[in-house]
Structure 1
């Protein structure tokens, strides 16, 4: 079978089963129980690291191993995080100023007129940060203040964050899913244009719980050359299952396996029960749906 330079081993039976982003899709979902998805993700990411790709993992669980990474960035609730999108745009960390303003729009639900006014004030230098926007006594200030909290202020305060080229971004110190979604959206906007990079997101389900988190997902999962996204979860929610791309189904309860097969459009004749240590790799081509079975591959301790 033809494989590209981006193909990596994912399962093993009589022969090796490959995940190939070029032919199968650039966003892979890994679904299992406990920390099974983490072990598979770690194995896949290690292969991409050997290929010379940068590896950036967003971890909302606090369970992702740090062994692959030279750098760990921890975002913690109540500590200055330097994640003010307006400051980051002023520093060139977020390349597009309007994207930074639309982040504020998404988080605080600004209407279009208020968003345009905030953008104008930012471009003309009247507003350089969210703190400035809050104090500006404009209509957008009032709307922001309706949802602005002390924890928001801490998330935005401090010097703009230095985002590693390759590393683990630990979001597990944010107990609020709202703050988690906000932090992810801001960081995703800063990394949207990176190439020769593989993004890992675990647990991806947590990022679907808020509007901000959902808004950030397409920034890193939309198809782009020289970029791959590997999403892991133990919560097979509809929002996760509907993300385009192949799926690796790991051991789970029978009814959950059935629901995942159903959601991915796998006909009854192609389904099989996945036992411990096994996986079903489901991918589509324009002509058909394909299911390959095998033993799960993991890093050796």
Structure 2
């Protein structure tokens, strides 16, 4: 169904066009497939939303997306300064307030509520002006942070705070530390979570959601919000992704994995569970009363 101006064609079947409409189907679309298939679908969807004058914010774990679509490119590497210090980002207006910065540090380093409140008070009082200051502090929160704080962390928070334009590509293709990936993902998710007229692409979502900080970013980017669409792409059929509300696009994959996706979406056994072949897709979506599955071919070559 083409319900709103945000509807885009995602499948074709016997002359019929099948649309994904975020307003009607749900604002978080999950895409499961193998190899580069999820990437190609997200890239295609991104092009459609660029035509609608939406900004694009893509988190790319594999370094696969073309860079010319973006006005801000953040290339992440291990042991490379990023400037993503949440305390400094508040001062630059990229994060809402110092309590947000405190809770990000809490999530990354496992502070309890009382230590987080103490850290927040010290930030407000000017005693702590950066994550490095917090790690060096003689307060108890400093001791807790230092238990897991490494030279990679120290370097990560150094550097100038980046400028974030309308369209942002965060390239994790050269990053091997999953901790670094998780920290960057959470911090940037907090920075862009309130943006409207924006398509957020997350690929590979299972990788980015793997760590505790990464998991904390899930509700920030998937909570329904007018003017925002989120597409989660993955090569892993992970339970935490399957449980996120929203429609699902099933691409070519092993039969047992396709079956797991159908099962998680409540699709009954039988003809509705069509085996998706290469170049095809099954679009699984719900209304308040029904479950629907639309089959077809992808609307692009390859």
Unaligned runs of 5+ in 1: none
1:228-247 aligned at under 5 Å gives the runs 228-247=229-248
Structure 1 segments of 4+ aligned residues over 6 angstroms from their partners = none
Are the equivalent residues in 2 in contact too, given 1:43–1:297 (CA < 8 A)? no
TM-score (norm 2): 0.96
Q: Which residue of 2 aligns with 1:129?
A: 130
Q: Which residue of 2 aligns with 1:56?
A: 57
Matching of residue 80 in structure 1 with residue 64 in structure 2: no
Instruction: For residue 259 of structure 1, report the CA deviation from its aligned partner.
Output: 1.0
1:2-21 aligned at under 5 Å gives the runs 2-13=2-13, 14-21=15-22
Q: Decide which of 273, 276, 283 is 1:274's aligned counterpart.
A: 276
Instruction: For residue 2 of structure 1, report the CA deviation from its aligned partner.
Output: 4.7
Matching of residue 149 in structure 1 with residue 187 in structure 2: no
Q: Indicate the RMSD between aligned Cα atoms, in angstroms.
A: 1.3
Residues 2 and 72 of structure 1: CA distance in aligned 2, closer, same or farther (over 3 Å): closer
For residues 155 and 239 of structure 1, what CA distance do their matches in structure 2 show?
A: 27
Q: Which residue of 2 aligns with 1:213?
A: 214
For residues 71 and 187 of structure 1, what CA distance do their matches in structure 2 show?
A: 13
For residues 166 and 77 of structure 2, what CA distance do their matches in structure 1 show?
A: 20
Instruction: For residue 77 of structure 1, report the CA deviation from its aligned partner.
Output: 1.0
Q: Which residue of 2 aligns with 1:111?
A: 112
Are the equivalent residues in 1 in contact too, given 2:57–2:200 (CA < 8 A)? yes
For residues 74 and 2 of structure 2, what CA distance do their matches in structure 1 show?
A: 38
Matching of residue 226 in structure 1 with residue 197 in structure 2: no
Unaligned runs of 5+ in 2: none
Q: Which residue of 2 aligns with 1:181?
A: 182
Most deviating of 157-166 and 45-54: 157-166
Offset from partner CA, 1:150-173 (integer Å, 9 cap, x none): 000111011112223203110222
Are the equivalent residues in 1 in contact too, given 2:119–2:141 (CA < 8 A)? yes
TM-score (norm 1): 0.96
Are the equivalent residues in 2 in contact too, given 1:246–1:282 (CA < 8 A)? yes
For residues 28 and 177 of structure 1, what CA distance do their matches in structure 2 show?
A: 24
Q: Which residue of 2 aligns with 1:192?
A: 193
SS at match of 1:217: helix
SS at match of 1:224: coil
Instruction: For residue 136 of structure 1, report the CA deviation from its aligned partner.
Output: 2.2
Offset from partner CA, 1:95-140 (integer Å, 9 cap, x none): 1221110000001000111100000111121111011112221011
SS at match of 1:228: strand
SS at match of 2:66: coil
Are the equivalent residues in 1 in contact too, given 2:22–2:28 (CA < 8 A)? yes
For residues 134 and 43 of structure 2, what CA distance do their matches in structure 1 show?
A: 41
Are the equivalent residues in 2 in contact too, given 1:252–1:274 (CA < 8 A)? yes
For residues 252 and 131 of structure 1, what CA distance do their matches in structure 2 show?
A: 45
Are the equivalent residues in 2 in contact too, given 1:40–1:297 (CA < 8 A)? no
SS at match of 2:147: helix
For residues 279 and 172 of structure 2, what CA distance do their matches in structure 1 show?
A: 29
For residues 127 and 115 of structure 1, what CA distance do their matches in structure 2 show?
A: 13
Offset from partner CA, 1:181-201 (integer Å, 9 cap, x none): 110000011111111100000
For residues 89 and 2 of structure 2, what CA distance do their matches in structure 1 show?
A: 43
For residues 170 and 220 of structure 2, what CA distance do their matches in structure 1 show?
A: 16
Q: How many residues align?
A: 300
For residues 62 and 236 of structure 2, what CA distance do their matches in structure 1 show?
A: 12
